[in-house]
């Protein structure tokens, strides 16, 4: 039994802020942000928008693409750390927004920027073990709400968005998710952490980050998990058609390209347009390229996020 990706969707807030539209008080510049990160703009939620509105829109798009009606969805997993509420889960809010009334399980996964890969792995396990025949897997975040807008070293990096895929169970196929491995190392919790939380400050806190340590760790784990993926699947780098890495800094992605000697044309980059949308970067990027992927392509997804958490997946389209 395999989980085949049959639908893609994405959603961005209405408001786009270009680098040179950031407040002058931040003492930053388009030149610094573009050169040091590759980011040119970010989207931020406004009136009437939230993580669940973006997630529901991305999910609806993905279901329409897959031509699956909402009530045929048998599992909803949302990777997010910026849900509308402490509870209920954003997945339940999405279930309500899509009028899914079939009682399917719906829950969130907290793995920060790795949330989508974590959610994908869990949904894939449900499908492989025949606990669901279809699944909505969503990565959605609104980091604009947990940024310290006076800290130029972090606030320029993030934006809001959501992406979704639909997985469908298929037997006797060589398509679908071939491999997915997720990892964590909690000894790095201090490197990328909010300044508060429900059980400490009764608030969400704001993002604090040791940028250089995070950068170094991301490069190392992108490379290690990619090498492990190739080894475990008896593949060489040339067997991979497309690579969709988490979009945190274009220099992290360029290091990956250099170290593993990857053809840059195979690497999908959306950070210039979307910035770092946390759990949404990978499904949003997949949504951008959905019409050009083509059948039987080997796609590698790579993630890295607070925890630290990271993961790698191999998907055959």
Q: Which residues bind ligand COA (CB under 6 A)?
A: 28, 32-33, 36-37, 113, 152-153, 156, 192, 209, 211-212, 214-215, 218, 248-249, 276, 304-305
Question: Residue 55 to residues 23, 135, 227: CA-CA distances in angstroms?
Answer: 28, 14, 32
Distance CA 54, CA 50 (A): 6
Which residue of the set 19, 249, 276, 287 is catalytic? 276
For the bound state, the minimum distance from the C-beta of residue 21 to ligand COA, rounded and expressed in Å, comes to 14
What is the gyration radius of the CA atoms in the chain, in angstroms? 18
Looking at the Cβ atoms of 63 and 301, the one nearer to ligand COA is 301
For the bound state, the minimum distance from the C-beta of residue 223 to ligand COA, rounded and expressed in Å, comes to 15
Looking at the Cβ atoms of 73 and 250, the one nearer to ligand COA is 250
For the bound state, the minimum distance from the C-beta of residue 69 to ligand COA, rounded and expressed in Å, comes to 35
Peptide bond into 238 cis (omega under 30): no
For the bound state, the minimum distance from the C-beta of residue 167 to ligand COA, rounded and expressed in Å, comes to 24
Q: Is 104 one of the catalytic residues?
A: no
Question: Residue 7 to residues 53, 150, 241: CA-CA distances in angstroms?
Answer: 19, 39, 19
Distance CA 188, CA 14 (A): 35
Distance CA 315, CA 309 (A): 20
Q: Is 155 one of the catalytic residues?
A: no
For the bound state, the minimum distance from the C-beta of residue 127 to ligand COA, rounded and expressed in Å, comes to 27
Name the strand (E) or helix (H) holding 170: strand 160-170
Distance CA 303, CA 282 (A): 8
Structure tokens at 297: 């392509």
Looking at the Cβ atoms of 28 and 80, the one nearer to ligand COA is 28
Compute, in degrees rounded to 10, the torsion defined by CA atoms 279, 281, 284, 290: -120
Looking at the Cβ atoms of 90 and 276, the one nearer to ligand COA is 276
For the bound state, the minimum distance from the C-beta of residue 181 to ligand COA, rounded and expressed in Å, comes to 18
Which residue of the set 113, 155, 180, 191 is catalytic? 113
Phi, psi of 307 (to 5 degrees): 145, -55
Distance CA 193, CA 190 (A): 6
Q: Is 99 one of the catalytic residues?
A: no
Please compute, for residue 106, the number of CA atoms within 13 A of its CA located in the half-sphere on the CB side.
26
Question: Residue 227 to residues 218, 238, 276, 308, 310: CA-CA distances in angstroms?
Answer: 14, 13, 24, 19, 14
Looking at the Cβ atoms of 209 and 293, the one nearer to ligand COA is 209
Looking at the Cβ atoms of 152 and 168, the one nearer to ligand COA is 152
Active site residues: 113, 246, 276
């Amino acid at each position: 039994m395999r989980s085949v990706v049959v639908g893609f969707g994405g959603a961005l807030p209405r408001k786009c802020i270009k680098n040179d539209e950031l407040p002058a008080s931040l003492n930053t510049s388009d030149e610094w942000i573009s050169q040091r990160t590759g980011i040119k703009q970010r989207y931020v939620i406004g009136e009437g928008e939230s993580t669940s509105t973006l997630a529901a829109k991305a999910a609806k798009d993905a279901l329409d693409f897959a031509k699956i009606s909402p009530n045929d969805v048998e599992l909803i997993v949302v990777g997010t750390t910026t849900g509308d509420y402490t509870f209920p889960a954003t997945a339940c809010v999405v279930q309500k927004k899509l009028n899914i009334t079939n009682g399917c399980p719906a829950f969130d996964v907290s793995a920060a920027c790795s949330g989508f890969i974590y959610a994908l792995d869990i949904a894939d396990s449900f499908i492989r073990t025949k606990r669901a025949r279809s699944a909505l897997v969503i990565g959605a975040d609104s980091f604009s709400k947990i940024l310290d807008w006076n800290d130029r070293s972090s606030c320029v990096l993030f934006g809001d968005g959501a992406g979704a895929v639909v997985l469908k169970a298929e037997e006797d196929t060589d398509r679908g998710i071939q491999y997915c491995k997720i990892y964590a190392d909690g000894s790095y919790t201090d490197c990328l952490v909010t300044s508060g939380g429900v059980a400490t400050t009764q608030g969400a806190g704001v993002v604090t980050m040791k940028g250089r340590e995070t950068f170094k760790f991301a490069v190392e784990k992108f490379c290690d998990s990619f090498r492990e993926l190739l080894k475990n699947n008896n593949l060489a780098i040339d067997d991979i058609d497309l690579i969709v890495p988490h979009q945190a800094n274009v220099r992290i992605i360029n290091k990956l390209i250099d170290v593993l000697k990857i053809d840059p044309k195979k690497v999908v980059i959306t950070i210039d347009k979307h910035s770092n949308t946390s759990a949404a970067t990978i499904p949003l990027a997949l949504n951008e390229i959905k019409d050009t992927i083509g059948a039987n392509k080997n796609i590698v997804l790579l993630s890295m996020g607070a925890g630290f958490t990271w993961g790698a997946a191999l998907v055959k389209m």
